[in-house]
């Protein structure tokens, strides 16, 4: 978190905004002829910092949040003020730190806002092929503004003839204030929704897809409203009709081996997901991972790509187009934070104006797609059911969601495990202080990778052209990695955020890859992959080259290799060393790394960036890579 700075507004950064008597009692949910308007300010209290992640083995399920309390009656002045459409300025002045909300009950495509006091009785309107729900976001660093605006049409469950127009606004990371207008007949409510949307975004509702944010206005955040499993409706208890009590279910024992249970708990751990998002300042309350659309991620990459062009060429055309380097960085940072919501408390959002900040944000956007897979599975029912309708152990259900072709445990006493541990100890960088203690190792396979790899002819490469290399990532990314395979950043992403351009990165030094595991966020535990990579012939580089992906393609090479001072002294056949016939012809390092001094190396260790650009018709790493082993370690 950056140092606290004095905000541009007159409101003190540490003190909540003055509370005013602007509350009115919420009107009845029943339709009435005369529309009314209410504004409700939720009780203020500073949001608690994220707690430290607990060990996977001891992680407890999150407790259910209490429903939002009803608004207390207030003065008539509040009602008069609420009838006026609140300006953005007044929204900022009225913001107060408040507790975060976690309870969401979903009927239909979108969940009802938990502060609406209508969670138990209403649902979001779905009409004319639209889900009448919108999340808007706006960041303006110059004004210390980092705010959201929610718009929903809510109707009684089972009766969509009339709707409330519900809105909520405030600073990102806080509950803010809300207002209800209506009820209106559905047709009129839709018009009111469109009018509100346009007043906040200066864009017609029909033109929201692909909209370009206008200065001083909100940006629409695209979310996915695909159907998912209902998990909040109480099940019949099998007793008296209408009892409404949830049916108790006996959760069966897991059928997984203990070692596979351990890695499943590590991958699907809500505390670790929350810790990773918190460290990167991402606000999952405003844009939940399970509802994030692909376009949102691409928009995030596009905003960072524009920033990259300015940072790489401070006096270039893009910078001048925005009024110079400083103004360009500020404006483009505003655009990025507007599409990828961040929580900065009351601090001024930091400007992204150097490679360090740019790389941090690239890591965030790159990780969101993988963490989304884990979050989607975690959002499912706590007691899933199998095809036969009987309850299934949650760990078993989570593991099956990875859709692996096979995963087996490597015997701790086998020569195979001894060779894997030797690869770890021999390839540990002398300058890396991280300890890597292997607890379990697994053989993993994804049939889709094997088929693509073989169809591309890589299984017939000469001995030594395929290498067994390390890849490290956050434990929270592994649900996406194991289910979808390693992926490269899309064309919308900037190339300067990676040392050798866009690609999947590997190393022959284990500690080089382990540093990307961020084990401090997952109870000192991490996961490493050993991948079979069709790497040779390589495009050798002694220094960073942001355009190496294109240069590698032009040179007709399979991958880019960043040569480091420390390199494997000898290579061996992985199939023979690991007693694994499927790896015969694949090479892996043998013995300790050695220091080279025959060239002017700027890198300490070798780093390979594997690209599929060698193949003209495909840009997906599945053609070059096969996952082979996964190692669970403690640092």
Q: Are residues 265 and 413 in the same domain?
A: no
302 belongs to a structural domain: yes
Residue of 516, 430, 411, 435 lying closest to 470 (CA atoms):
516
Q: What is the pTM of this model?
A: 0.73
**Cα three-residue angle 620-622-626, rounded to 5 degrees:** 155
Distances (CA, A) of 249 to 224, 235, 254, 570: 31, 10, 15, 57
Q: Are residues 317 and 192 in the same domain?
A: no
Distances (CA, A) of 169 to 14, 40, 198, 386, 502: 20, 11, 15, 41, 38
Which distant-in-sequence residues (6+ apart) come within 8 Å of 524 by Cβ?
Answer: 634, 635
b/e code 287-303 from CB counts within 10 Å (16+ = b): bbbbbbeebbbbbbbbb
Q: Are residues 408 and 484 in the same domain?
A: yes
At 77 the pLDDT is 43
- Would you state the torsion angle of the CA atoms of residues 532, 538, 543, 544, taken in this order, to the nearest 10 degrees? -60
At 247 the pLDDT is 57
- 318: containing domain: 259-378
**Which residues share a beta bridge with 165?**
153, 181
192, containing H or E segment? helix 186-201
Q: Are residues 349 and 463 in the same domain?
A: no
Q: Are residues 284 and 203 in the same domain?
A: no
Q: Are residues 433 and 580 in the same domain?
A: yes
18 belongs to a structural domain: no
At 600 the pLDDT is 61
Count of domains for the chain: 3
CA distance 71 to 412: 60
468 belongs to a structural domain: yes
Cis amide prior to 324 (ω within 30 degrees): no
233 belongs to a structural domain: no
**Cα three-residue angle 367-51-336, rounded to 5 degrees:** 35
Q: Are residues 179 and 266 in the same domain?
A: no
**Cα three-residue angle 513-519-520, rounded to 5 degrees:** 140
65 belongs to a structural domain: no
CA distance 157 to 99: 28
At 601 the pLDDT is 54
What is the DSSP pairing of strand 466-473 with strand 586-595? parallel
CA distance 520 to 53: 9
Q: Are residues 372 and 412 in the same domain?
A: no
| Residues lower than pLDDT 50 in the chain | 1-103, 228-246, 607-621
CA distance 282 to 274: 9
Residue of 260, 523, 556 lying closest to 409 (CA atoms):
260
At 428 the pLDDT is 79
What DSSP string describes 473-512?
Answer: E-GGGHHHHHHH---PPPTTS-STTSTTSSSEEEBSSHHH
CA distance 597 to 413: 39
At 391 the pLDDT is 86
CA distance 339 to 368: 13
Q: Are residues 202 and 288 in the same domain?
A: no
At 145 the pLDDT is 95
At 288 the pLDDT is 79
242 belongs to a structural domain: no
Of the three residues 220, 245, 277, the one that is the final residue of a domain is 220
Indicate the SS3 state at residue 605.
strand
30 belongs to a structural domain: no
Ranges of beta strands (E only) in 192-317 are 219-220
613 belongs to a structural domain: yes
Residue pair 40/72 in contact (Cβ under 8 Å)? The answer is no
What DSSP designation does 623 have? G
Q: Are residues 588 and 445 in the same domain?
A: yes
Q: Check residue 117 and give left, alpha or beta (phi > 0: left; psi -120 to 50: alpha).
A: left
At 9 the pLDDT is 36
Q: Are residues 424 and 514 in the same domain?
A: yes
Which distant-in-sequence residues (6+ apart) come within 8 Å of 326 by Cβ?
Answer: 353
What is the DSSP pairing of strand 504-506 with strand 437-445? unpaired
Distances (CA, A) of 146 to 169, 171, 231: 11, 6, 32
Q: What is the CATH number of the domain that holds 447?
A: 3.90.228.10
Residue of 233, 283, 27, 243 lying closest to 123 (CA atoms):
233
Q: Are residues 426 and 549 in the same domain?
A: yes
Q: What is the CATH number of the domain that holds 312?
A: 1.20.142.10
């Amino acid at each position: 978190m950056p140092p606290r700075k004095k905000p541009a507004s007159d409101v003190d950064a540490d003190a909540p905004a003055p509370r005013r008597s602007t509350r009115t009692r919420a009107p009845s949910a029943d339709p009435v002829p005369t529309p009314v308007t209410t504004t409700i300010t939720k009780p203020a209290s500073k949001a608690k910092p994220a707690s430290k992640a607990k060990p996977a083995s001891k992680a407890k399920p999150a407790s259910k949040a209490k429903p939002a309390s009803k608004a207390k009656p207030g003065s008539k002045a509040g009602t008069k003020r609420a009838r006026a459409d609140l300006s953005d300025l007044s929204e900022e002045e009225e913001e107060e730190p408040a507790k975060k909300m976690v309870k969401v009950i979903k009927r239909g495509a979108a969940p009802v806002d938990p502060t609406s006091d209508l969670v138990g009785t209403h649902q979001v309107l779905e009409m004319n092929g639209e889900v009448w729900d919108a999340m808007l976001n706006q960041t303006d660093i110059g004004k210390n503004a980092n705010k959201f605006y929610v718009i929903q049409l809510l109707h009684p469950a089972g009766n969509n003839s009339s709707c409330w127009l519900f809105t909520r606004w405030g600073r990102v990371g806080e509950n803010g204030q809300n207002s209800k207008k209506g009820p209106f007949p559905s047709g009129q409510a839709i018009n009111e929704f469109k009018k509100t949307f346009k007043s906040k975004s200066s864009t017609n509702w029909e033109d929201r897809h692909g909209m370009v944010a206008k200065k001083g206005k909100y940006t629409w955040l695209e979310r996915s409203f695909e159907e998912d499993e209902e998990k909040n409706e109480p099940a019949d208890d099998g007793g008296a009709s209408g009892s409404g009590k949830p049916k108790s279910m006996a959760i069966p024992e897991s059928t997984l081996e203990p070692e596979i249970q351990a890695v499943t708990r590590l991958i699907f751990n809500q505390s670790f997901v929350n810790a990773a998002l918190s460290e990167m300042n991402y606000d999952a309350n405003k844009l939940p991972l399970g509802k994030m659309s692909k376009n949102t991620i691409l928009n995030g990459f596009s905003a960072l790509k524009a920033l990259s062009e300015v940072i790489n060429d401070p006096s270039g055309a893009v910078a001048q187009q925005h009024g110079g380097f400083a103004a360009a960085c500020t404006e483009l940072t505003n655009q990025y934070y507007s599409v990828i919501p961040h929580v900065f408390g009351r601090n001024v959002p930091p400007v992204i104006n150097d490679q360090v900040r740019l790389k941090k944000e690239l890591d965030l956007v790159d990780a969101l797609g993988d963490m989304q897979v884990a979050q989607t599975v975690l959002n499912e029912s706590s007691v899933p059911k199998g095809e036969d309708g009987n309850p299934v152990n949650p760990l078993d259900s989570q593991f099956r969601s990875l859709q692996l072709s096979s995963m087996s445990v490597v015997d701790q006493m086998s020569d195979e495990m001894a060779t894997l541990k030797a690869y770890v100890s021999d390839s540990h960088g002398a300058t890396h202080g991280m300890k890597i203690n292997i607890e379990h190792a697994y053989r993993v396979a994804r049939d889709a990778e094997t088929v693509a790899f073989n169809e591309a002819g890589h299984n017939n490469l000469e001995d030594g052209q395929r290498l067994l290399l390390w890849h490290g990532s956050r434990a929270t990314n592994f649900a996406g990695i194991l289910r979808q395979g390693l992926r490269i950043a899309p064309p919308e992403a900037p190339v300067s955020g990676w040392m050798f351009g866009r690609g999947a990165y590997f190393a022959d030094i284990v500690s080089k890859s382990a540093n990307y595991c961020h084990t401090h966020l997952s109870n000192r535990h991490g996961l490493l992959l050993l991948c079979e990579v069709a790497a040779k012939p390589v495009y050798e580089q002694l220094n960073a080259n942001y355009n190496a992906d294109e240069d590698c393609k032009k040179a007709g090479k399979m991958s880019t290799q960043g040569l480091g001072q420390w390199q494997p002294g000898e290579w061996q056949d992985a199939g023979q060393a690991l007693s694994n016939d499927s790896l015969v012809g694949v090479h892996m390092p043998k013995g300790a790394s050695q220091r080279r001094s025959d060239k002017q190396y700027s890198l300490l260790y070798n780093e390979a960036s594997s690209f599929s650009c060698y193949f003209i018709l495909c840009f997906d790493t599945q053609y070059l890579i096969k996952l082979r082993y996964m190692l669970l370690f403690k640092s």
